[in-house]
């Protein structure tokens, strides 16, 4: 089991290195196959680990494995170690499995791009980083994976580096992630100082000795990192811009895996968060606020990928809500189903974009149902799953998320209301997108620019993963049904025992109301966008400007920084630094000029120098004697 875990971790890294070193000797398609195969190997290894772990008794499912002692300094020692336990195998399966499908899909999507090899190297690097994050056996490995994932995201968002918008988006993502990294590092410093190590088993068992101040700071630091990585309030502005990257990147990184790392973090370090209950409640509150805000903004977006991006932001808000209230297994369950149907939506949208020669504007689309029937069905399944219509997967996971909130007291009930409003909004914006793109008469743009996909390697690589995900999005929800059948909760129980469980009545009530609200949302969308019997209300500027967060951060951080930088340049760097250098050079030159006058060329001068020196030396000798 342990060797399988290590193979799972390092296979994608090997592929990334191999592609980088092979360079032009590897054909572009071969690079794609290499990357895909390595992630498949990863997935198989993850399945093997999972199978072996299943064979262990439930209370003995925590296996650490150290490769070598990485940092040793005095009493501190940090190792390169991984952990194979229920939570990490759960994540390994999702990351490797969905990753494999998406990398396979990329072979078709990125076909013909000049820099395909670089793309696949980056994708393999990303899968490795994400696996390191989820498999890390101490907080330092987790942080290492965290940083590497941020790097891969930067590299992949800015993949088409000739576009200035892509570069700017990559920088924005990286800077906001770096803020999270910084707060996380500070939290880790406190932990090192208090506990002397970052190993999970020590840190999680000693939370009692932290003291309230330290516990709150640590939890806040970790929450900062989670918020940055998962694009929650207040660090959410980078996610929509990240859609500048290729669609498979959006599917893998910004829907299925990287942005869910924040949720994973909270679930993994639940002991630390439970030691700081107010911070945990803050996490839930941020999640709720984000899901509402994102849902509202998604209503007015015109770019198909951005609608899905805001939808991701909103769904992760749900997961934060659940994790913040202590329903860890439910959050992870939703993470799994969300990975399936969100990746599916992105990939289907990718097929649409490809078919329309890279057009992403919803207003130009219409009637694609006739042109891309299979894609339409895939998209429909994804949309229904997202909205939470039974019997698709989203129904089981989303209701399981919201029901425990009712059991948490007045705060939880408030959040429950927010979640319900979010369900309505989800139905509305999702089906707005679907109706605009696929229903109605084919728009002139579509008629002019549509070209069908061929049934070759590219076509297969685009179609099969979408098909697989459609099936998963439809049926994966049946793996956990309320309180009747809870394999996921049982599986994750040793690692993250839930703080709240909903009663049967709360669950039933939640389900009914949620489905009703979802259907209402779909109905309103149909009324306005499909049947065209109603007029869409005028869009609020507040929503169109995404609640003015970008402008706020621009005024709050960017402008002062630029002002400070220009000021420093003009008043400090130019006069002081350049000036002093210039003065120094001038002084040296002057000194040389003066010294030149000693060389008169006359022998007399030199003899005079000798005579004068003699006179002086004589005095010295006389005095010393």
Partner 1 sequence: MILAADAGNVLVWVVWVVAACACLGSGIAVISFSNPFFSALSLIGNLASLAVLYLLLSAEFVAAAQVLVYAGAVMVMFLFVIAYLGGRADAPWAGGPSWQAFAAGAASGALLVEVLVVISLKSSGRLTHEANIDSSFGSPARIGRLFLTDHLLAFEITSIVLLVAAVGGVILGSHSRNPSVDR
Partner 2 sequence: MNGPNVVWYLAVATFLFCTGALGVLIRRSPLIVLLSLEIMLNGANLALIAFARQQGHEDGQIFALAVMAVAASEVVVGLGLIVAMARRRLDLDVDKLRTLRG
Binding site for partner 1 (CB under 8 A): 600, 602, 604-605, 608, 611-612, 614-615, 618-619, 622, 625
Q: Choose the contact partner of 623 out of partner 1, partner 2, none; CB within 5 to 8 A by kind.
A: none
Token code pair at residue 243:
């859609």
Report how far residue 179's alpha carbon sits from residue 86's, in angstroms, rounded to the nearest whole number.
30
CB-wise, 452 or 622, nearer to partner 1? 622
Q: Choose the contact partner of 603 out of partner 1, partner 2, none; CB within 5 to 8 A by kind.
A: partner 2
Q: Is 305 exposed, middle or buried (CB count within 10 Å of its CB: 0-12, 13-18, 19+)?
A: buried
Q: Choose the contact partner of 624 out of partner 2, partner 1, none; CB within 5 to 8 A by kind.
A: none
Least Å distance, CB 604 to partner 2, is 6
Report how far residue 400's alpha carbon sits from residue 67's, in angstroms, rounded to the nearest whole number.
39
Report how far residue 184's alpha carbon sits from residue 582's, in angstroms, rounded to the nearest whole number.
43
- Residues 558-597 binding partner 2 (CB under 8 A) are 596
- Residues 468-497 binding partner 2 (CB under 8 A) are none
CB-wise, 576 or 608, nearer to partner 1? 608
CB-wise, 57 or 592, nearer to partner 2? 592
Q: Choose the contact partner of 598 out of partner 2, partner 1, none; CB within 5 to 8 A by kind.
A: partner 2
CA distances from 521 to 378, 424, 430, 437, 439 (A): 20, 5, 9, 17, 17
Say whether 520 sits in a helix, a strand or coil: helix
Least Å distance, CB 568 to partner 2, is 43
- Residues 246-275 binding partner 2 (CB under 8 A) are none
Token code pair at residue 183:
């707060």
Q: Choose the contact partner of 601 out of partner 2, partner 1, none; CB within 5 to 8 A by kind.
A: partner 2
Say whether 263 sits in a helix, a strand or coil: helix
Diameter over CA atoms, the chain: 118
Q: Choose the contact partner of 202 out of partner 2, partner 1, none; CB within 5 to 8 A by kind.
A: none
Least Å distance, CB 170 to partner 2, is 59
Torsion of CA 104, 164, 151, 311, to 10 degrees: -60
Q: Choose the contact partner of 21 out of partner 2, partner 1, none; CB within 5 to 8 A by kind.
A: none
Q: What are phi and psi of 315, to 5 degrees?
A: -65, -35
Least Å distance, CB 599 to partner 1, is 13
CB-wise, 455 or 604, nearer to partner 2? 604
Least Å distance, CB 607 to partner 2, is 6
End-to-end CA distance of the chain: 89
CB-wise, 73 or 602, nearer to partner 2? 602
Helices 373-387, 328-355: crossing angle, 10 deg rounding = 160
Report how far residue 608's alpha carbon sits from residue 611's, in angstroms, rounded to the nearest whole number.
5
| Contact in structure between 93 and 53 (CB atoms under 8 Å) | no
CB-wise, 73 or 624, nearer to partner 1? 624
Q: Does residue 611 belong to the site contacting partner 2 (CB under 8 A)?
A: yes
Say whether 79 sits in a helix, a strand or coil: strand
Report how far residue 309's alpha carbon sits from residue 377's, in angstroms, rounded to the nearest whole number.
20
Q: Choose the contact partner of 622 out of partner 2, partner 1, none; CB within 5 to 8 A by kind.
A: partner 1
Q: Choose the contact partner of 619 out of partner 2, partner 1, none; CB within 5 to 8 A by kind.
A: partner 1
Least Å distance, CB 599 to partner 2, is 3
Q: What are phi and psi of 68, to 5 degrees?
A: -160, 165
CB-wise, 193 or 599, nearer to partner 1? 599
Query: Residues 186, 189, 190, CA angle at the centre, nearest 5°?
Result: 95
Report how far residue 185's alpha carbon sits from residue 196's, in angstroms, rounded to the nearest whole number.
15
E-strand spans in 39-142?
A: 63-73, 76-84
CB-wise, 452 or 610, nearer to partner 2? 610
Neighbours of 360 (CB within 10 A): 17
CB-wise, 503 or 618, nearer to partner 1? 618
Report how far residue 318's alpha carbon sits from residue 338's, in angstroms, rounded to the nearest whole number.
11
- Residues 590-609 binding partner 2 (CB under 8 A) are 596, 598-604, 607-608
CB-wise, 25 or 625, nearer to partner 1? 625
Least Å distance, CB 565 to partner 2, is 47
| Contact in structure between 63 and 84 (CB atoms under 8 Å) | yes
| Contact in structure between 118 and 245 (CB atoms under 8 Å) | no
Report how far residue 165's alpha carbon sits from residue 584's, in angstroms, rounded to the nearest whole number.
43
Least Å distance, CB 578 to partner 1, is 39
CB-wise, 591 or 607, nearer to partner 1? 607
Q: Choose the contact partner of 596 out of partner 2, partner 1, none; CB within 5 to 8 A by kind.
A: partner 2
CB-wise, 452 or 622, nearer to partner 2? 622
Number of residues that bind partner 2 (CB under 8 A): 11
Q: Choose the contact partner of 625 out of partner 1, partner 2, none; CB within 5 to 8 A by kind.
A: partner 1
Q: How many residues does the chain have?
A: 625
Least Å distance, CB 622 to partner 2, is 14
Least Å distance, CB 590 to partner 1, is 21
CB-wise, 585 or 611, nearer to partner 2? 611
Q: Choose the contact partner of 73 out of partner 1, partner 2, none; CB within 5 to 8 A by kind.
A: none
The contacts of residue 491 (CB under 8 Å, 6+ apart) are 86, 90, 329
Rg (Cα) of the chain, in Å, rounded?
Answer: 30
Q: Choose the contact partner of 540 out of partner 2, partner 1, none; CB within 5 to 8 A by kind.
A: none
Say whether 113 sits in a helix, a strand or coil: coil
Task: For 607-624, give the DSSP string.
Answer: HHHHHHHHHHHHHHHHHH
The contacts of residue 357 (CB under 8 Å, 6+ apart) are 449, 451
Least Å distance, CB 617 to partner 1, is 10
Report how far residue 131's alpha carbon sits from residue 5's, in angstroms, rounded to the nearest whole number.
10
Least Å distance, CB 602 to partner 2, is 6
CB-wise, 512 or 619, nearer to partner 1? 619
Q: Choose the contact partner of 618 out of partner 1, partner 2, none; CB within 5 to 8 A by kind.
A: partner 1
Least Å distance, CB 588 to partner 2, is 17
Least Å distance, CB 614 to partner 1, is 6
Note the residues at the interface with partner 2 (CB under 8 A): 596, 598-604, 607-608, 611
């Amino acid at each position: 089991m342990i060797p399988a875990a290590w193979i799972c971790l390092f296979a994608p890294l090997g592929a990334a290195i191999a592609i980088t070193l092979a360079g032009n000797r590897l054909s572009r398609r071969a690079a794609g196959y290499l990357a895909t195969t390595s992630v498949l190997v990863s997935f198989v290894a993850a399945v093997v680990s999972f199978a072996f772990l299943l064979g262990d008794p439930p209370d003995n499912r925590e296996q650490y494995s150290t490769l070598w002692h990485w940092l040793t300094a005095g009493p501190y020692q940090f190792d390169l170690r991984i952990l194979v336990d229920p939570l990490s195998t759960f994540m390994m399966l999702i990351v490797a499995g969905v990753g494999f499908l998406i990398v396979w899909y990329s072979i078709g999507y990125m076909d013909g791009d000049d820099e395909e090899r670089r793309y696949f190297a980056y994708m393999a690097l990303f899968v490795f980083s994400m696996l390191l994050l989820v498999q890390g056996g101490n907080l330092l490995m987790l942080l290492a994976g965290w940083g590497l994932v941020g790097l891969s995201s930067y590299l992949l968002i800015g993949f088409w580096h000739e576009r200035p918008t892509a570069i700017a988006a990559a920088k924005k993502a990286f800077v906001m992630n770096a803020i999270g990294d910084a707060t996380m590092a500070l939290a880790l410093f406190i932990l090192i100082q208090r506990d002397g190590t970052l190993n999970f088993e020590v840190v999680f068992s000693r939370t009692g000795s932290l003291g309230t101040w330290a516990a709150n700071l640590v939890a806040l630091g970790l929450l900062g990192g989670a918020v940055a990585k998962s694009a929650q309030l207040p660090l959410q502005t980078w996610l929509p811009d990240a859609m500048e990257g290729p669609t498979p990147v959006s599917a893998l990184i910004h829907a299925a895996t990287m942005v869910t790392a924040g949720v994973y973090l909270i679930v993994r370090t639940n002991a630390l968060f439970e030691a700081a209950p107010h911070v945990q409640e803050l996490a839930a509150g941020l999640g709720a606020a984000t899901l509402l805000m994102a849902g509202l903004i998604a209503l007015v977006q015109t770019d198909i990928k951005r609608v899905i991006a805001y939808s991701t932001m909103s769904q992760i808000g749900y997961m934060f809500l659940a994790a913040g209230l202590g329903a860890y297994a439910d959050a992870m369950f939703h993470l799994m189903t969300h990975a399936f149907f969100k990746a599916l939506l992105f990939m289907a949208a990718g097929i649409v974009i490809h078919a329309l020669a890279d057009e992403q504007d919803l207003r130009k689309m219409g009637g694609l149902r006739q042109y891309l029937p299979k894609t339409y069905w895939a998209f429909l399944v994804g949309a229904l799953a997202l909205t939470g219509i039974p019997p698709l997967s989203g129904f089981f996971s989303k209701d399981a998320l919201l029901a425990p909130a009712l059991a948490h007291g007045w705060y939880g009930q408030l959040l429950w209301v927010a979640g319900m409003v979010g369900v309505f909004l989800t139905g509305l914006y999702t089906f707005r997108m679907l109706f605009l793109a696929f229903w109605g008469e084919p728009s002139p743009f579509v008629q002019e620019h549509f070209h069908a996909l061929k049934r070759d390697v590219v076509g297969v690589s685009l179609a099969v993963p979408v098909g697989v995900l459609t099936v998963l999005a439809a049926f994966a929800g049946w793996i956990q049904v309320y309180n009747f059948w809870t394999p996921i909760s049982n599986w994750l129980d040793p690692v993250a025992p839930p703080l709240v469980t909903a009663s049967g009545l709360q669950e039933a009530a939640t389900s009914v109301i949620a489905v009703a609200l979802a259907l209402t949302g779909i109905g309103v969308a149909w009324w306005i966008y499909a049947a065209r019997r109603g007029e869409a209300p005028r869009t609020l500027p507040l929503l169109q400007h995404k609640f003015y967060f970008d402008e706020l951060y621009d005024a709050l951080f960017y402008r002062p920084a630029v002002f400070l930088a220009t000021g420093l340049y003009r008043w400090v760097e130019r006069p002081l630094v350049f000036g002093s250098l210039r003065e120094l050079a001038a002084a040296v030159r002057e000194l040389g000029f003066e010294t030149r006058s000693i060389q008169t060329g006359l022998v007399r001068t030199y003899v005079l120098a000798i005579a004068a020196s003699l006179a002086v030396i004589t005095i010295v000798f006389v005095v010393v004697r």
